[in-house]
Structure 1
Amino acid sequence: MAIPKVLIASLVVSLLLLHLVDAADETKNTNLSQSSYVQKMDCGAACVARCRLASRQKMCKRACGTCCARCNCVPPGTSGNQEVCPCYYTMTTHGGRRKCP
């Protein structure tokens, strides 16, 4: 009994399409997981470095930790450089003063 060539051709094409769809779906999932992954910085170490010259280190580290947790960024150095982290720079207290050291 001979199997028609059309049946074999349609079976091969179907398997090829299933393979392509599966590969495209896997690529899409890989790209989504890579783009949604944002590395959290070590806020503790960054704030210790930022506040090492502050006169009120406990308060500085607490404020810096809050800002770092919200912005995931701490400017380099012990003061200034706020333009590196716009979120950090623009955060204010209820009184309108800058929150982040």
Structure 2
Amino acid sequence: MTEITADVIVAVVSIFTAGITMAIGSIAPALGEGRALAEALQAIAQQPDEAPTLTRTLFVGIAMVESTGIYCLVVSMILIFANPFWDHFITKAGG
């Protein structure tokens, strides 16, 4: 049977945390964008003359909401490819 070392534990926890970060971190932006779009379409249906203003504001708002999902993606990529804990284990192992 193989021995579970500290670097294996760090790898497993990092990959699991990256997956959970993306799973949870992408739900809220998706729901927020859907709700923003539904409200904007309802507002445009009620006042068609204000469509250009509402559309511009909608795009800015969706970009702000989407930034949360992008931050989660960045955190996941850091955990997988540039994990700061790896340096600690590499120096302890003498590499």
The TM-score range, normalised by the shorter chain, is 0.3 to 0.5
The structure with the largest alpha-carbon Rg is 1
TM-score (norm 1): 0.38
TM-score (norm 2): 0.40
Of Structure 1 and Structure 2, the greater helix share is in: 2
